Amino acid sequence: MHVRCEALLRIMVTTVAVMSLVLLPAAAQAQSAAPDRAAPPRTAGGHPDLRGVWDFRTVTPMERPTELGNKEFLTEEEVAAYESQRVLERNADLNRENTVTDRRVVNGTTETADLRLAYNDFWWDRGTRVVGTRRTSLVIDPPDGRIPPLTPEGSRRAEDRRAHSERPTEGPEDRSLSERCITGFNSGPPMTSGGYNQNVQIFQATDHVVLLNEMVHNARVVPLDGRPHSGVRQWTGESRGRWEGDTLVVETKNFQRETSFGNSSDNLQLVERFTRVDADTLLYRYTVTDPTTWTRPWTVELPMVRTEQPLFEYACHEGNYGMTGTLSGARAIEAAGTVTR
């Protein structure tokens, strides 16, 4: 469950939805056209200039659809049809009768869980275009475009979290980090495409880079001065950066516990690579290593598109009525004596 913040968030999403209509032609052109390989701008220090706001929304899925088999790239002729199909199938207003649901019993009550289309299409800003490389998945390693299987420990952790979500919440610690407004579900780290507010602003200085996500305003301050990791655990980990040629490499570890990313644990180690390939494209690639969760490391590639629009306010704590309702409902169930464990 993702918390939908009311009031301010509704105003902000409405604004973003309107702005996206203005930006759509430019974004489509930037992703679909052959990239301009002219040398990207550089800072006074000689490094590529990564500054600006970068948009990472896309209809390209994280994992390759099984029906595509070993097909790694779409052809130019296939792109338009695929984009139309993806946009249509995720439109709740047009597909409400076809929504994938799950019937389950929670505390003695049978309920229907909407697994895909929880909100009307108006509230989403998931993008309408595939990535500019025309890959069929964001996962590029393993070669099959699929996230590796979970380890036995990772499977047990996933089952524990599912069980937690289906019983009365004992306290806010039971809920996910994104529900608690601690991290955003697409800001990670690592950043993933999904939902809305899919923008990151990069600030760049000689000895630091700051990655400011629009989602929950998560800001990572990344030192570039060669200092080692201190070992202090943080919600979004501890990041250290360095330049490898024209690529900014950021290594992050020492997470406080799981991230908002998948089924990860506090053992997650992340290597992100940022390469500005042209004036309008920032190639973002990251490798996930968590031996207590997945059976092998895996890598994602997510091209980002430059936008001239600023970041918008994301009100989470201010409108987090979902958390109040969740906890109040749990206490009411306990008082009625209908709790099942």
Kindly report the length of the chain: 341
- Does residue 26 register a pLDDT over 50? no
Measured in whole angstroms, the distance separating CA 200 from the mean position of its chain's CA atoms is 11
Is 142 strand, coil or helix? coil
Strand, helix or coil for residue 155: helix
Query: Which pLDDT value is given to residue 147?
Result: 96
Token look-up 């709790």 returns: 339
Provide the Cα torsion 183, 262, 199, 211; round to 10°. 60
Q: Inform me whether the pLDDT recorded for 92 exceeds 60.
A: yes
Whether 123 contacts 53, CB under 8 Å: no
Nearest to 257 by CA among 248, 249, 266: 266
pLDDT given for residue 339 in this prediction: 62
Least confident of 19-23, 109-113, 290-294: 19-23
What SS3 state is found at 241?
strand
Supply the pLDDT for residue 40: 84
Q: What is the pLDDT of residues 221-260, one digit of tens each?
A: 999 999 999 999 999 999 999 999 999 999 999 998 877 6
From residue 278, give the alpha-carbon distance in Å to each of 23, 36, 132, 275, 336: 19, 6, 12, 9, 61
Residue 117's pLDDT band, with cuts at 50, 70 and 90, is low
Quote the pLDDT of residue 28. 40
For residue 129, what pLDDT is reported?
A: 96
| The pLDDT of residue 270 is above 90 | yes
**pLDDT exceeds cutoff 90 at 104:** no
Looking at residue 153, its pLDDT comes to 95
Structure-model confidence comparison of residues 187 and 116, the more confident one: 187
What is the separation of C-alpha 166 from the centre of its chain, rounded to a whole number of angstroms? 24
pLDDT at residue number 100:
52
Question: Which candidate, 2, 33, 43, 18, places its Cα nearest to that of 323?
Answer: 2
- Residue 15's CB: how many other CB atoms inside 10 A? 12
pLDDT computed for residue 305 by the predictor: 97
Say whether pLDDT at 207 is over 50: yes
As given in the structure block, the two tokens for residue 103 are 């019937």
Residue with tokens 């338009």: 80
Torsion of CA 287, 200, 62, 188, to 10 degrees: 60
Does the pLDDT of residue 264 top 60, yes or no?
Answer: yes
User: Residue 266 pLDDT > 70, yes or no?
Assistant: yes
The pLDDT of residue 5: 42
pTM: 0.82
Average pLDDT of the chain, as a whole number: 83
Contact (CB, 8 A) for 237 and 189? yes
User: Which residue spans within the chain are E strands per DSSP?
Assistant: 52-55, 101-106, 109-114, 139-141, 199-204, 208-213, 219-223, 238-244, 247-253, 269-278, 281-289, 298-307
For residue 33, how many other CB atoms are within 10 A of its CB? 10
Alpha-carbon span 30 to 146, nearest angstrom:
27
Per-domain residue ranges of the chain: 8-95+127-336
Highest mean pLDDT among 79-88, 154-163, 168-177: 79-88
Name, of 117-121, 296-300, 331-335, the range with top average pLDDT. 296-300
What is the structure's pLDDT at 118?
67
The pLDDT value recorded for residue 103 is 53
> Across residues 168-193, what is the average pLDDT?
87
